[in-house]
Structure 1
Amino acid sequence: MPNMKISKIYTYPIKGMRATELENAVVTKHGFPYDRRYMLLEVAEDGSYKNMAIAYYPLMSRYFPTINDDESFSLSFRPADGEEKSINIPLKPKVDGLEEVEVTMHKSPTKAYKMEQKYNDWFSSTFGFDCVLVYLGNDMRKVLMSVNGNAPKASAPNGWLSSISSKATQLVMGAEQENKITFADCAPYLVVSEKSMDDVHSRMNDGSKYDIMKFRPNIIVSGAEEVWEEDFWGELTIDGTTKIECEHNCARCKSLNIDYDTGKPGTGESGSMLKKLASNRRVDPGMKWSPVFGRYSFLNAASEGNEIKVGDEVVVSKRNDERTKFDWEGLHTLK
């Protein structure tokens, strides 16, 4: 059996924009440091705010973040035709005195802080309409996706011992943990398998390769034996110590069809990937209209603060006998 390893690690300082690639990262229950702590909102004519996501604002694919140090990151806007512009943004801004705004994602509300006007002016000038940059602060969003509640029967090398360990983990995490996330859609981590890209690439009739970054992963795992085997991953153990609980499938939307090179809806083969995957990847009855790629995942409580790095060995320490079924409190289809 091939050796599975971490091939890439990514964090996304601003939701919907490009990722910053990392060689190593500390794992926390809320995700990687700085992941999706910022978000952009369009200002409507009546002064209300509209969440900006890459599926509906494809130009977001032309913004490239680079973490400078522990204090700030640089964001470069690189239009397909036009002058590049850059701005430095603090990783942990001082929020005293900043206006609070309510942000609701997938029926999960939170309070965020409207950043200083100089940042809002910069984004408004690059997008061509009024928008504001908001920072999450410490008020995380509640996870509405079911966790530890509907996983199917799983098999593991140690049988009954693994079952006891799993139950103990659930007790440790329990209600007191109150799974919460940043501006990530449903879970702190999205894990994808590089092997499954073999199937994705095969759907490109022009012989080109599809960009795995359009799936917006946090962790890419290489070395899986079969395509789509990750559908059945229940738990991954990284470097023998860090455990990632793979809870649910990730449903995909029209963001897959965006042309990242132009920042516009795609044309041709890559612009129809959502339809291509829908032909046989609508494998989760909880999201029956959406194709699946990747696993929404959470950190095992005992692994809080561990560090993982590119090249670390990955072992499937728990494998489900059947696919999980996505379940959301009051929301069963992501849009």
Structure 2
Amino acid sequence: MKIEALLTYPIKGLRAHSLDSAEVTKHGFSYDRRFMLLEVKKGEDGTPTLRNMAIAHDPRGSRFFPKIQQPSDYNAKDGKITVVFKPPPGEGEEKTLEIPLEPSTEGLEVTEVTMHKSPTKAYQMPEEYCKWFTDCFGYEVILVYLGEHLRPVLMSSTHADATTQQPASGGSTGWLSSITSTATSILSSVTNNAEESKVTFADCAPYLVVSSASMSDLHRRFPEPMKADIMKFRPNIIVSDAEKPWEEDYWGEIAIGGAEGAKIECIHNCGRCKSVNIDYETGKPATDESGKLLAKMQSDRRVDKGVKYSPIFGRYSFLEAGSEGKTVKVGDEVMVTKRNEEHTRFDWKGLATT
């Protein structure tokens, strides 16, 4: 198997920025989801409240195209994000905004942000940035920057005891590899340090790993020549050339770039929501067959008892200790180094799992 694509999302809820290579950190790829948009809602008494924005509820976010310019060697603060807003045809003109990749936070108002019961603080960006997004979305929006703040990972270790397997000598990744440990032991390296584990504005974990072989299986659910769009699943790492669809359900750990490369622990399944029904070209819920993608997955992809009403696509993942700072590249070899015999059970303290 190989790395087909690496993706980062500098502003949560907007489109991805593609990478040729990336340094892996315990908090995800550099600059992934360090910014976020919040809608300002006013109550009857005029008191403002803030709502976290995401593409499922704010589909116009699919019409924003961010591109990262990395900081130069001589100035660590001159990196930037260039965001191009491309409204659907007939709905206005293209607009561009430049945002500092690492803005100065001096004098910025601090805002409380809570995602899935995991709280943090963020800096409200200056008015010029908030107004630009407000004009594009058509309702009042503020842009916030995470800065040094991170959210606690609410990972639970109460998964079902699925037996884990490790490839036999010679690098085989077959299903009959020898048993070496249990899923609970895999979890321990992450969950025993749950209080120290932190995440950005990503929903549940620093990385989301998906397989393009499984995407091919989704294509058959649509009439020819229509295909599903893997970008709707908002992955960080796309793996190609898996032996068969949905085998990633059982991945416990993958190694990228050979045995000495970066190791990613695949801990939880990712339950899907109506965001996969959004038409990225119109910035609205799709009205054709692609708008039924979530329903089409319901028939056979509800495979996790922890989120029994949500179809599964992809694995929430964490960087294994010892891989911090390694580099992964598109085209790198991917090996499954640990494999579960059974499906893991999603158990996140911030989300209902009944």
TM-score bracket, shorter-length normalisation: over 0.9
Whole-angstrom CA distance in 2 between matches of 1:77 and 1:147: 41
Contact 1:11 1:19 in 2 (8 A): yes
Q: Structure 2 regions of 5+ residues with no counterpart?
A: 72-78, 169-176
Whole-angstrom CA distance in 1 between matches of 2:187 and 2:352: 27
1:274 aligns with 2:294: yes
Q: Structure 1 regions of 5+ residues with no counterpart?
A: none
Whole-angstrom CA distance in 2 between matches of 1:172 and 1:122: 39
Whole-angstrom CA distance in 2 between matches of 1:218 and 1:172: 19
Q: Any idea what SS the aligned residue of 2:12 has?
A: coil
Whole-angstrom CA distance in 2 between matches of 1:15 and 1:289: 25
Matched with 1:28 is: 25
Q: By how many angstroms is 1:67 displaced?
A: 1.0
1:94 aligns with 2:104: yes
Contact 2:285 2:291 in 1 (8 A): yes
Structure 1: which amino acid aligns with 2:87? P
Change (3 A) 1:179 1:149: farther
Q: How does 1:73-152 map to 2 (within 5 A)?
A: 73-81=81-89, 82-146=92-156, 152=162
1:296 aligns with 2:316: yes
1:244 aligns with 2:264: yes
Q: By how many angstroms is 1:170 displaced?
A: 4.2
Whole-angstrom CA distance in 2 between matches of 1:63 and 1:262: 11
Contact 1:169 1:301 in 2 (8 A): no
Whole-angstrom CA distance in 1 between matches of 2:320 and 2:16: 24
Q: Give the paired residue count.
A: 330
Contact 2:190 2:197 in 1 (8 A): no
Matched with 1:234 is: 252
**Ranges of 4+ aligned residues in structure 1 off by more than 3 Å:** 147-151, 158-164, 166-174
Match of 2:211 among 186, 193, 207: 193
Structure 2: which amino acid aligns with 1:16? G
Whole-angstrom CA distance in 1 between matches of 2:235 and 2:123: 26
Matched with 1:220 is: 238
Matched with 1:320 is: 340
What CA deviation, in whole Å up to 9, does each residue of 1:112-143 have, x standing for no partner?
Answer: 00001110011111111111000011111111
Q: Any idea what SS the aligned residue of 1:246 has?
A: strand
Whole-angstrom CA distance in 2 between matches of 1:266 and 1:169: 38
Change (3 A) 1:201 1:331: same
Change (3 A) 1:148 1:31: farther
Q: Report percent identity of matched pairs.
A: 57
Matched with 1:309 is: 329
Whole-angstrom CA distance in 2 between matches of 1:30 and 1:89: 21
Structure 2: which amino acid aligns with 1:219? I
Contact 1:73 1:89 in 2 (8 A): yes
Contact 2:24 2:323 in 1 (8 A): yes
What CA deviation, in whole Å up to 9, does each residue of 1:164-221 have, x standing for no partner?
Answer: 9x95994598427721100000000000000011111000124311110000000000
TM norm structure 2: 0.89
TM norm structure 1: 0.93
Q: Any idea what SS the aligned residue of 1:126 has?
A: helix
Matched with 2:5 is: 8
Contact 2:155 2:194 in 1 (8 A): no
